[in-house]
With several copies, the nearest count.
Chain A
């Protein structure tokens, strides 16, 4: 079976075949001897790839895997061939690539909103200030953009991951 993976902006096609007691994996013409063992924790695995052991924790959400490997975290989007073909056929209907939702990385209290709808902001410019654990934290623009929506108000308490505002990137 072929899988289309995407980590950050890199797409990698992984082909997996079961051979006797292990898996044969192909990437870009390179071949790997791979074995997989589930440890007793729900999300902990041991892989041996060409005799190299790798202990990882992995959680799945839809087509997105979150992998913890050697202290770092990675996000990997995955589709099998069939899904990838399906998706490419409807690609035209996707949402604008330039629209970007800014969510809060922490729960807290909105102290101040420093921008208004329609305002142009530079990359790194402060959008708003959140207080959490007695510290004020500034949320800044990831790219040059125009503010298209603001979904919170000053003094409002926000949950982790809540949408704060929407930006349209300037290309």
Chain B
């Protein structure tokens, strides 16, 4: 019986898992680096242990120290969250060797699926359709160029150990190959310590559709429907939704069955996601399996009512899934907007700093999973994800109208965020019509921003705000002693003075 869980992560996903544990009556152990001494995930846990300096390699990636904490604290199980060590088979192996339950698939499964080339082969053998690509690693310009010539440009360079868009480059012409290969290898080395890359045919305007799966140790493998994650920037998802506007019951069932087949082919246990590309003719191609709980899992929770994080713990406990394929009901529609501390006007550059004002939206159909509060800061050392804002509606239109409302309510000061970008998308006619592709941002963003120049009316209001605050500053300096005894003539004026003086 799992009674105490160590969460080998930080930020919003650590908070998410702590919440799942608290609802399950399980004691939580947080770990933290020097940069996270007072972070929210530490404050929410029952126990918290320091694991090293701010850089991840010396703290959240330091396997030995994390396992030491697990032993010292008497932890029964470790939840890796996503990122960091979540898809590291060595970690899964060492956790198990230490006599602690790893909340996720077996190390062998992680290893197989983490090697994109080995995974491709296994899927081809299992009859899962894949995108045409190199079946072996490609590490010199000559063979890369030759292979790209064979399958035809454009091609995609991907890190064999990759995920999250890191080490990924599109190459449209042979002249771009040299530079792209070098950068992809650099990124792959720095992100994964593994510079192996491979090459795939690049599909034009595909949709990114993925299937959530859940498998227990009793041989039950169930899919929980799809998520569409086509809205991406820098090859990273920013907006996800379920159901996909183009997936009907028949396609959901086919993709779901294929995902279950993929899971069985890799002896999958616990939560995972099978990612596909869907082309314009609705052919789908296996991309990869993410062997962890994903960032965007809440949209599936919102439409199925199933708490995936709690279910992960049940499965790790050796229990059977609390649902069957037949018992799942998909209800309504859900959207997720990732709230990054990034500047959409400057190519989504991270925006680092202290949060000076913070208020989350709430009310009907709104869920926020955040990793900080008004005491928080966005650090240079980690992903600049502040929170995930999700909305649910009876249908997609209601989910979108709630998302617009919730985005407008969200107040974050101190760093720039992608909220203005999300508002542009939520009001974009192609998005509203469900006409999406992974190129959406590239194709539409510049135009969106141009078509959204600052209204004259807004400009005048900003001018009034600033002029009035400026006048107040000047008056305060001038009148600080002179008008103390002024009689206030109306409640209005009095109120104004109480507040302003």
Contacts and interface: CB of A to CB of B under 8 A. Distances in A.
Q: Do the two chains touch directly in the complex (Cβ atoms below 8 Å apart)?
A: yes
B489 to A, nearest CB: 7
Contacts of A144: none
A75 B31 CA distance: 32
Given A38-B500, A132-B380, A135-B234, A67 B462 contact: yes
Given A27-B460, A76-B462, A134-B166, A53 B43 contact: yes
Interface stretch (A55-63, A91-99, A147-155, A162-170): A55-63
A41 B473 CA distance: 16
A136 B466 contact: no
Given A71-B407, A137-B349, A27 B423 contact: no
Interface stretch (B44-52, B121-129, B363-371, B428-436): B44-52
B471 A3 contact: yes
Contacts of A54: 461, 465
A35 B492 contact: yes
Contacts of B38: 37, 39, 46
Contacts of B190: 131, 134
B30 A36 contact: no
Interface stretch (B150-158, B264-272, B281-289, B381-389): B381-389
B325 interface: no
A7 interface: yes
Contacts of B467: 3, 5, 14, 16, 25, 78
Interface string B428-467: 0000000000000000000000000010001111111111
Contact of A160 (B186, B352, B492): B352
A51 B49 contact: yes
Q: Which of A54, A56, A105, A131 has the most CB of B within 10 A?
A: A105
Contacts, number: 185
Contacts of A137: 347, 349
B413 A35 contact: no
Contacts of B191: 134
A24 to B, nearest CB: 11
B349 A12 contact: no
B21 to A, nearest CB: 15
A23 B471 CA distance: 11
B42 A53 contact: yes
A10 B413 contact: no
A122 interface: no
A21 interface: yes
B459 A7 contact: yes
A21 B454 CA distance: 31
A36 B380 contact: no
B469 A51 contact: no
B487 interface: no
Nearest to B379: A133
Given A5-B463, A67-B465, A134-B187, A43 B48 contact: no
B496 A36 contact: yes
A49 interface: yes
A74 B464 contact: no
A105 B344 CA distance: 12
Size class of the contact patch on chain B:
35 or more
B473 A58 contact: no
B492 A22 contact: yes
Contact of A60 (B413, B468, B469): B469
Contacts of A53: 30, 42-43, 45-48
A1 interface: yes
Interface in A25-52: 25, 27, 32, 34-41, 43-49, 51-52
A72 B452 CA distance: 12
A70 B47 CA distance: 15
A108 B380 contact: yes
B492 A133 contact: no
A106 interface: yes
A37 B496 contact: yes
Contacts of B416: 73
A25 B356 CA distance: 30
A132 B474 contact: no
Contacts of B383: 133
B465 A133 contact: no
Contacts of B104: none
Interface string B190-203: 11000000000000
A133 B30 CA distance: 22
A44 B40 CA distance: 13
Contacts of B471: 1, 3, 16
Contact of B492 (A14, A21, A111): A21
B454 A52 contact: no
Contacts of A52: 46-48
Contacts of B466: 3, 5, 58, 65, 67, 76, 78
A36 B413 contact: no
A88 to B, nearest CB: 18
Interface in B460-501: 460-474, 489-490, 492-493, 495-496, 499-500
Which 4 A/B pairs are nearest by Cβ-Cβ distance?
Answer: A21-B493, A14-B467, A21-B492, A3-B467
9 contacts: A5-B467, A14-B464, A21-B493, A41-B375, A65-B470, A69-B462, A78-B470, A131-B190, A137-B349
